[in-house]
Structure 1
C-alpha cells in the first residue's frame, strides 16, 4: 500500500510539472477552417492561440500541437534569458565581433545582415546564429543545462556541442510547450530577474502601432528526415488584452521560402481571427 501511495504521488508530481510547462489543450476549441492557410502554402503544421482573458485556447491540428520538434532560432528567447541572467550577455547592446565567416541561409542566400560586429538587440532581430552560438559557448554546457532543467524546456536534452544542440535535433519542444513558455515570459514567471524578462520582451517586439503590438521570434531548421521545420512564437496585444500564439510549420525536404510562408500563415490566421484592427 505504501509503495502504491508513493508511486501515485510521483505520478501526480510529474503530471503537475507537465501542466506547469505547457498550456492545457483539454478545453481547446478546434478550428479546422485554419487548415487552408497551410494548404495554400503547401505545408503541414498547426496553430495555437490562447486568449489570456478567459483562458480559451483555439487549436488547428492538435496532433502536431503536442509533438516535440527542434526549436531552431526560437531558442534565442531562452539563450537571451540565460545569457543576461548569467552575465554572458552584459546588456542588450553587448557587441560580439564578426568572425569573418560568411554564412548561407538554407535557401542559398548569403546572410548579409550577419556579416558585421553586432549587439544582442540586432542579433535577435536578424536571428544571427553565430552571435548566439558564441553566447552559448560563453554560458557553458553545465550552466546551460542547469537553466534548461530549471525552466523545464521541452525534453531538456542539450546533447552534442553546446553551440548547436537547439539545431541538431537533440533539444526538442512542442508547440503547446512553446505557448506555455511565452506566457510565463510575458508575466515574468520564469526563474530569471524581472529586468531580464523585460529586456527579452523588449527585443521580441516587432510591430507597435495604435491598433496593436505584435511580439514574436521565428525559427527555421530541419528534422532528422530533412523536413523543413518553421516556427513563429509570441503574442499580440490589443486594447490591453494579450493573446499568445504559436505557428508551427512542417514542410517537405527541399528548398522552400520559409520566411515568406511563415509570415503568410501567421498573418492570415490572425486576420481571420479578427486581429490587427484594434477591435479585439
Structure 2
C-alpha cells in the first residue's frame, strides 16, 4: 500500500487522508501530545515538511515533490511499524510554548506541573523573585527544571536524575535555553547526591505507574525508559521517599510539589493523616499535590 501511495498520492490532503487511515487501521495509541489520528498525522506531516505547526489548512492542496512524498511516507510508516511516539520521530516535545529536545533516553514530557509553572505557582508563591533555590527530582529531559528557572528569575535550579542518559538530554536542553550558569545537572538516586542542600521549592514528576498498569501499557509507552515509569506495586515507591526525606531538604515554609498520575486515592489511604493540597490543572485536581515543609508527615528514619 505504501508503494501505491508513493505512485498515486500527490498533495498534503492526500497524505493526511492516507496517514489517518493507516493510523486508524493500525490501532495506534495516542497519548504523547495528541489524542487522535488526525492531530498526530497533522503534526508529523507539518514537521516533516518544515511547515508551521499551527497552519495546516493553507497547505492542504499543495503538491509534494517526490523527495517530500518519500519523507512523509517514511515517517508515517515508521510511526506504525515501530510504535514510536511522535516526539521520538521528530526529536521534539512541547510544553505550552516551550520546545524541548527529546529522544528515547527520556520519557516524552507531559507534566501537569508545567502549566502550574507557567503561572509561577500563583497563588501559592506570592513573589516569584523571592524563590532562590529550586530542586527538580527525576528531571528527565530537564523540561520542568528549565520551566522553573524561567518562572523564578532569581533562582538557582538543581536538576537531579538517576540516569546518565537522561542528564545528557537535559544538558542539551539547558544549553539550548542558555541557562547553564543558573542550573546544575546532578546524577543522584533521589536525595543521596545532594546531602545538606536545602531549597525553597522542590518539584517532581517521578515514576508513578503501578505494577498492574505497567503490565498492560500500550506499545508506545513501552518505548519509553521503564526506569522513569515504574514505581512498585501501588505506584508510590518514589513518592514515599519524597515524603520521608523532603523535609530535610526544604527551607522553612518551603514547598514540595509532586505529580502522581491516577494515584490520589492510594496516596490518601497510605497517608491518612497528611493534609494534601490538590492543585487545579486543566485535567482536574487529582494529579498534583502540594505540601509545605511543616505539613510533611513525620516518618521514621
Q: Using structure 1 for the length normalisation, give the TM-score.
A: 0.29
Q: Using structure 2 for the length normalisation, give the TM-score.
A: 0.27
Higher RCO structure (Cα 8 Å, ≥6 apart) = 1
Name the larger-Rg structure: 2
